[in-house]
Amino acid sequence: MFVCTLLTDPSNPALDPALIDNLRNAWGGGDVQWLAVDEAAAFALERVPDNQWEVWSDLQALGVDLVVLPAEGRRKKMLLADMDSTMIQQECIDELADVAGVGARVKDITARAMNGELDFEAAIRERVGLLADLPEAVIGQVLETRITLMPGGPALLATMKAHGAYAALVSGGFTAFTAAVAAKLGFDENRANTLVTDNGVLTGEVGVPILGQQAKVDALEEITARLGIAQADVLAVGDGANDLGMLGRAGMGVALHAKPAVAAQCDVRVNFGDLTALLYLQGYAKSEFVTP
């Protein structure tokens, strides 16, 4: 059995009941379950429809996300999340670069790297090199004034953890940011790269080894082995090319507002919903969300 879930932007919920009913009838689905009024609904299916992606494309034009997943094992025991543009709304290195006066150049490199056009390790070395001599204190200022949580993140963490899930934040960004974001949201652990400093300023170097795509896969393997759970028990979420490894290995790999080249390689794509979409995909109704 499978479950078809339809989602829309929770800040402008306008999921049409007639649309849901028409799709359910066309696909021979079960009764519709409204997970949140006008925002998220689901129904059971006996098989994956042949025209899933044609319908998906049509619904995208209406601002609706459509995801078909196996019914068994929907609720996951672990969350493995990227940070930049996933758990937070910014790319930390772009914000630091903006303060350093090299924002446009770094932002371009970031966008190309996240879309898979550049080697990740070379790109991070180049960008961090442009931050040489930036005072370390700027990191705290950027955290306080420029970094905002992605909507739905607090509810996602609080709800999954209330149901016994483990949460790990694994980023190609920097520990100075992941530590703060992980603490704020309630992650159990965080892994990221290190900005090298000397006498209170950034040297323009990155600590080695550099954590890229393989490090996220390693985290998935190491943490699941430590917890004694299967990789199928993991929900992974990210938006960039360096997330593809973990998204492909996890039981549910969600491309959230992902770069086009990344989304094209993922079967679970959330383009309109926020992080609460990850709860709906697991079958949680809005009435079950835990307020942190």
Shared domain for 200 and 61, answered yes or no, is no
Q: How confident is the model at residue 110 (pLDDT cuts 50, 70, 90)?
A: confident
Alpha carbon 291 to its chain centroid, in Å, reads: 20
pTM of the model: 0.95
Question: Using a CB cutoff of 8 Å and minimum separation of 24, what contacts does 17-26 make?
Answer: 17/41, 19/59, 19/62, 19/64, 23/55
Cα separation of the two ends of the chain: 33
Write out pLDDT tens, residues 54-88.
999 999 999 999 999 999 999 999 999 999 999 99
Residue 42 or residue 115, greater confidence: 42
DSSP state of 289: P
* Residue 19: CATH number of its domain: 3.30.70
Q: What per-residue confidence (pLDDT) applies to 183?
A: 98
Same domain membership, residue 208 and residue 126: yes
Domain final position from 30, 55, 72: 72
- Asked if residue 142 and residue 179 are part of one domain, the reply reads yes
Domain match, 164 and 33 both: no
Please indicate whether residue 201 or residue 260 has the higher confidence score (pLDDT). 201
User: In this structure, which amino acid lies at residue 130?
Assistant: L
| Active-site residue identified among 65, 82, 239, 274 | 82
The pLDDT score that the predictor gives to residue 215 is 94
C-alpha span between 281 and 267 (Å, rounded): 13
What's the whole-number average pLDDT of the chain? 95
Could you tell me if 157 and 262 lie in one domain? yes
Looking at the fold, whether 118 and 183 belong to one and the same domain comes out as: yes
Residue 63 shares a structural domain with residue 150: no
Question: What pLDDT is recorded for position 116?
Answer: 83
Asked if residue 143 and residue 19 are part of one domain, the reply reads no
136 with 187, same domain: the answer is: yes
Among 14, 48, 72, the domain boundary falls at 72
- Can you name the residues that pair with 170 across neighbouring β-strands? 191
**How confident is the model at residue 255, as a pLDDT?**
98
**What integer pLDDT is reported at residue 70 of this predicted model?**
97
Q: Check if 82 is active-site.
A: yes
The pair of structure tokens assigned to 28 is 């021979």
Question: Mind listing the pLDDT tens digit for each residue in 4-20?
Answer: 999 999 999 989 999 99
8 A C-beta contact, residue 258 and residue 242: no
CATH number at residue 281: 3.40.50.1000
pLDDT one-digit tens code per residue, 116-167? 898 888 999 999 999 999 999 999 999 999 999 999 999 999 999 999 999 9
Mark whether 105 and 149 lie in a shared domain. Answer: yes
186-238 pLDDT tens trace: 999 999 999 999 999 999 999 999 988 899 999 999 999 999 999 999 999 99
The domain of 12 spans 1-72
Residue-level pLDDT at 26:
97
Residues 26 and 107 in one domain: no
Q: Does residue 141 share a domain with residue 1?
A: no
168: three-class secondary structure by DSSP: strand
Q: How confident is the model at residue 270 (pLDDT cuts 50, 70, 90)?
A: very high
Which of 133, 119, 130, 131 lies closest to 172, judged by CA? Answer: 119
Domain end position, chosen among 50, 72, 94: 72
Q: What angle do CA 108, 109, 112 make, to 5 degrees?
A: 85
State residue 84's pLDDT score.
96
Q: Which of 9, 21, 38, 84 is catalytic?
A: 84
Q: For residue 57, what pLDDT is reported?
A: 97
Domain count, the chain: 2
pLDDT band at 261; cut points 50, 70, 90: confident
In order, the DSSP letters of 86-128 are: TTBSS-HHHHHHHHHT-HHHHHHHHHHHHTTSS-HHHHHHHHH
In the numeric block, which tokens belong to residue 51? 């025209």
Instruction: Based on the residue annotation, tell me whether 31 is a catalytic residue of this protein.
Output: no
